[in-house]
Amino acid sequence: MEDCYMERLEQRIQKDGLVKAGNVLKVDSFLNHQVDVALLEEMGAEFHRLFGHKPITKILTIEASGIAIAVAAARYFQVPVVFAKKSQSINLDGESYSVKIESFTHQRVYDVIVSKKYLSQADHVLIIDDFLARGKALEGLIALIQAAGATVEGIGIAVEKGFQGGGDAIRARGFHLESLAIVERMDEKTGQIYFRR
């Protein structure tokens, strides 16, 4: 697989990322609360460089924090963004595909749905998300795409925490997964963040 990392994103994580208890990396100042739109645009361009040769018809992400990155990427791909919705109660009307996803940051299980109107067999989908940890969110999104009979063309992640194993498991299943920054190790005490090369 081609070696890919985005230097400017790594530098920003190094400068502004905060290492919290429980292996959580906070990037609220530029990605998850306040958003640096110029950086997001660069990330969108990078995803297009990596996946632009594929016949992508739709970008799929999950609410809420994936949406901004997915929208930035979609401007380059010129395709719609669909964001899977987290719902409290499962919708049994048959109009939606649904899966259960265990949230890493909130430690609870959500029913996540996508309307059948917005995902079909004809779709070639690029999945985009902000973080990849144990891979539960991605596994859920892949299952939604497969339930629709659509094709997973690739997966683009902003920040992968490589030491939590989700990314390697998904690559081992044969999916084309690219992360713009892969954190290999982080130290809660010193705040140091080390990247994979």
Q: Which residues bind ligand 5GP (CB under 6 A)?
A: 24-27, 32, 65, 104-105, 129-137, 161, 166
Smallest distance from the beta carbon of 151 to ligand 5GP, in angstroms?
22
Coil, helix or strand at residue 39 = helix
Smallest distance from the beta carbon of 171 to ligand 5GP, in angstroms?
13
Nearer to ligand 5GP among residue 7 and residue 168 (C-beta): 168
Residue closest to 41 by CA, chosen among 83, 75, 14, 78: 75
Spatial contact of 111 and 89, defined as CB atoms under 8 Å apart = yes
CA angle 44, 105, 97 (to 5 degrees): 70
Reading the block at residue 174, the tokens are 């044969």
Nearer to ligand 5GP among residue 53 and residue 189 (C-beta): 189
Smallest distance from the beta carbon of 7 to ligand 5GP, in angstroms?
20
Smallest distance from the beta carbon of 117 to ligand 5GP, in angstroms?
24
Nearer to ligand 5GP among residue 23 and residue 57 (C-beta): 23
| Orientation angle between helical segments 66-77 and 37-51, nearest 10 degrees | 60
Smallest distance from the beta carbon of 50 to ligand 5GP, in angstroms?
19
Cis amide leading into 64 (omega within 30): yes
Q: What is the DSSP pairing of strand 151-161 with strand 177-186?
A: parallel
